[in-house]
Amino acid sequence: MAANPNKIMKFWQELKRRKVFRVLAMYAGAAYVIIELVNNVAAPLRLPEWTATMVILLLIIGFPIVAILSWIFDITPAGVKKTESIDLTLEQDLPSETERRKLRVSDVIISVLIILVGILVYPKIFGSNKSKIRKNSDGRISLVVMPFQNLSGDTLFNVWEEGIQNLLITSLSNSKELSVRQYETMYSIIGDKKLKNYSSITPSFSRDIAVKLDANTVIVGNIHKAGDIIRVTANLLDSKSEEIYKSYEVEGGSENDFFALADSISTLLKNYLEIKQLDQTMFFDLKNVVTKSTKAYKYYIQGFSRHGELDYTSAIDLYIKAIEIDTNFVSPMVKLAYVYGDLGKTDLSKKWAYKAYSKIDNVPLDMQLTIKEVKAAVDKRPLDQIEYMKQYLKINPYCMNKMYGIGWASFITEQWQNAIEALEKNVELFKKFNRKSWIWSYVLLGQAYHKTGKHKKERKIYELGLSYWPDAKFRVEYLLAICAISRRETTVANKHIEEFRRIAENYKWPETEILYWLASAYEKGDSLKQAEKLYRRALAINPDYNDLTNSFAYFLILNDINVDEGMDLIKPLLEKEPANGNYMHTYGLGLYKEGKLKEAKKVLEDAWELIPYYNHDHFLQLREIEKALANQV
């Protein structure tokens, strides 16, 4: 049976008479102000993370209690009294149109609360601090994280200048709403010896770096120490105006707290930026992505610095120490694969690449792509390498190493134009920051220009590389000699050859080595007769120079100058070193030239497994033999 409408109306009027709605409105307004106050002061006062949750729960519990108390009691000038029950009719309770209402204390309180709530709510609806932060055209916030300056006075914390930077970059990269410039990119720009003293990094310098990296926002910070307390501060800046959006300060008791401190800063930043939609394919616990060990992480950061300085021995030692402490630490495994690859130690490079690949499901997408890339490198699949690096650059578009990697992989597969485009981007980006790229960026780019007949650009890029790397003058003179020889500019070629010889002699190179390089220059310049003469002169001086013997044998066989002589030269070497992939390659090519296709295929396939790097000529020769065998069927 439906309730009596008159009773419902009377109950409604009774709620109004007892001021229940008025009390609840004041309670709700006060609760909102309290919650906002707690959220704003929790971080500066370093309150526990559960403080805000506890306050909200208490306020929710208090809501029905206040409702009941407002029904039972009244606050009067004479004090708190129990509200009397009066059976009034609906007409009696309704005020007359002419009744003049007096201003009450509760009205003032409600008005104040409304104003406070309005002040707090307005920015959230019509614009907040987040609206000040400029976004990219794709809607993402672009970030640069600078090294944190160690102002603690303790040099043992120097490693954490880059350590916290790397941790924050890793953590903040877990969102599609943020575009974070990666650690390797930042190291390439500011990690050289000139800027190792990070106290010289000013807000203006940070702003300049961010603007050049097309990042709208910068994170800068400091490390302090007071007694046993470690304090880390972080400021979020606008890259153009240097306006500080937000400042944070977190504290810990020891180095072991740096992971937690970085996590806290990352969480505070994400909350401020209102980053809510974390991509689950990219989101991982920071300690699982990096390591659970502070000591292992320090070894990794130190190893990365040595690696960047091309101190491979120290880098290997530090990377291995990091892994010995934490056997699940993927980052040093990847770096070891690169280091050993650079040193030509194929087995060790493959070992660490595969070790990293076994843990690929435990790391974010960008690291997965890097692991796949290095595995493709040890598996001699440069086209896959290129694809993985391109995918990586879609996520992190300013990674100079990947640009170089694409250029290198395109170069060795003779995709000259693709190599030029990638290496030009690498060189130009370094130039933008007044930094030098690796010498091989200029060397490979110059050679790619040479292959496409752009000789003016070739000479110009060699000059640029030489301005950064004066110790590479012997190599530049060698390359310029090749350029002149190929163009039959004899006078110019002789000039560069004389300069090359002068530098080599100053370095105390033996005559055999000098002649070996010059023979190679004439070979690459398509002057085969002069190359043959120089090879023979070098061998006459030192017939026991095995690499020279192998190169001359390959030269004779490849160019069909004297296949029999080439085979006679390579066979004794192969008898001494039957597992030498380079010797096997020369011998397999000789078998192919002799028409022994099946034997050649077997030898070249075995050699392919032994050589440390992808060799395009080797690859093409195998394909040519397979095609010839298929045509015989």
| 91-128 pLDDT per residue, tens | 444 455 444 445 455 555 556 656 655 555 555 544 44
The reported pLDDT for the residue numbered 56 is 79
Q: Would you say residue 246 has pLDDT above 80?
A: yes
- DSSP assignment of 318-344 equals HHHHHHHH-TT-HHHHHHHHHHHHHTT
Which CATH number fits the domain that encloses residue 420?
1.25.40.10
pLDDT digits (tens, 9 = 90+) for 295-318: 998 899 899 888 878 899 999 999
pLDDT at residue number 340: 92
Count of alpha carbons within 13 Å of 147, Cβ hemisphere only? 29
Between the two ends of the chain, the Cα-to-Cα distance in Å is 95
Choose from 51-60, 212-221, 408-417 the range with maximum mean pLDDT.
Answer: 408-417
Residue 282 carries which side chain, given as an amino acid letter? M
User: Among candidates 153, 230, 162, 229, which has minimal Cα distance to 196?
Assistant: 162
Is residue 604 within 8 A of residue 593, CB to CB? The reply is no
Q: Give percent helix, percent strand, percent coil of the chain, each to the nearest 5.
A: 65, 10, 25
Domain boundary (221, 255, 283) is at 283
Residue 615: phi, psi to the nearest 5?
A: -125, 115
* Domain shared by 302 and 392, yes or no: yes
Regarding whether 337 and 316 lie in a shared domain, the answer is yes
Which range of residues forms the domain containing residue 420? Answer: 399-468
pLDDT at 538 over 50: yes
Q: Are residues 350 and 386 in the same domain?
A: yes
What is the predicted pLDDT for the residue at 79?
Answer: 47
Which of the four pLDDT bands, split at 50, 70 and 90, describes residue 273?
confident
- Percent of the chain topping pLDDT 90: 47
* Residue 508 included in any domain: no
Is 388 exposed, middle or buried, given 0-12, 13-18 or 19+ CB atoms closer than 10 A?
buried
pLDDT of residue 171: 81
**When comparing pLDDT for 490 and 36, which is higher?**
490
Examine the domain organization and report whether 160 and 252 are in the same domain: yes
Residue 575 lies in a domain: no
Whether residue 133 contacts residue 141, with contact meaning beta carbons closer than 8 Å, is answered with yes
Stronger pLDDT, 624 or 63, i.e. the higher one: 624
Q: In the chain, how many domains are there?
A: 4
CA pseudo-torsion sign 192, 193, 194, 200? positive
pLDDT of residue 1: 46
| Exposure of 511 in the CB half-sphere (CA atoms within 13 A) | 9
pLDDT surpasses 90 at 422? yes
Same domain (yes/no): 79, 146: no
The whole-chain average pLDDT of the chain stands at: 83
Closest C-alpha among 156, 165, 209 to residue 184: 165
Do 221 and 308 lie in a common domain?
A: no
309 domain-assigned: yes
SS3 150: strand
Q: Among 468, 490, 523, give the residue marking a domain's end.
A: 468
Distance in angstroms (rounded) separating the CA atoms of residues 610 and 589: 16
What confidence tens digit (pLDDT) does each residue in 151-187 have?
A: 888 888 888 888 888 888 888 877 778 888 887 788 7
Tokens at 231, concatenated: 């304090």
- Tell me the C-alpha distance between 18 and 27, whole Å: 15
Q: Which residues contact 340 (CB under 8 A, 6 or more apart)?
A: 316, 346, 348, 349, 352
